[in-house]
Amino acid sequence: MSGSHEETNRERGARLLIVGPPGSGKGTQAAYIAEAFGIPAISTGDIFRHHITHKTELGLKVQAIVDAGDYVPDELTNQLVAQRLSESDCAKGFLLDGYPRTADQVRFLDELLAQDGALEAVVRLTADEDELVRRLTHRAHEQGRADDTEEAIRHRQNVYNEQTAPIIDIYRGRGLLVEVDGIGGVDEVAARIREALAARGIGVAGDPAAA
């Protein structure tokens, strides 16, 4: 990516969300999109894991919840995101990964963005549940995440289906939803996302997909 592309993207200031069930590859794709757009990828899961690893006050508070695959209380999560979005690197755009996940978080984010400008698009990765369990079990072997036991994986999928799927309807109702098939190679899925965003006029300058 050249400097001029970065400049254009910074001016553009994309404000994006990525949502998808556990194992849909949203973390990997979030990093790709963020790099292409020159914006920070903000993963609430990564932030919580960082706190847990460093045994901060917040980390100790949320460890058991995260390990069990339950959602951290909205109050804590909302404050964390408000703080992160107030940092200077978010002034020209951001990509939120794993937030909002509940209706209360959607409301909180709406208020937070009311002054600075609303979201431009919500990328939703879709994937078959069997494929997701296969991927996560594989990741458990490779990374040893404490919440990647089969029991916790199934629990996280149930929690996602119950709590987070309804927020997709909210964003669909606002006409912001960009649905992308998450099954395929990393580059293949990344290209699909780029094309789907470009089709809505959200693109990386000089990218053929944006033409």
For ligand ADP, the binding residues (CB under 6 A) are 22, 43-45, 48, 65-66, 69-72, 77, 98-99, 101, 105, 147, 156
Question: Taking the complex as a whole, how short is the minimal distance between the CB of residue 11 and ligand ADP, in angstroms?
Answer: 29
Question: Taking the complex as a whole, how short is the minimal distance between the CB of residue 176 and ligand ADP, in angstroms?
Answer: 18
Tokens of 193: 């996302």
In terms of CB distance, is 2 or 142 closer to ligand ADP?
142
Question: Taking the complex as a whole, how short is the minimal distance between the CB of residue 172 and ligand ADP, in angstroms?
Answer: 19
The burial of 205, by beta-carbon neighbours within 10 Å (0-12 exposed, 13-18 middle, 19 or more buried), is given as middle
Tell whether 99 is in a known binding site.
yes
In terms of CB distance, is 39 or 80 closer to ligand ADP?
80
Cα(22)–Cα(152) distance, rounded to whole angstroms? 11
Q: From 140, 136, 142, select the one nearest 21 (Cα to Cα).
A: 136
Tell whether 174 is in a known binding site.
no
Tell whether 186 is in a known binding site.
no
- Terminal C-alpha separation, the chain: 17
Tell whether 23 is in a known binding site.
yes
Answer whether 136's CB lies under 8 Å from 23's CB. yes
Cα(97)–Cα(193) distance, rounded to whole angstroms? 14
Annotated binding site for ATP: 23-28, 139, 184
Annotated binding site for AMP: 44, 49, 70-72, 98-101, 105, 145, 156
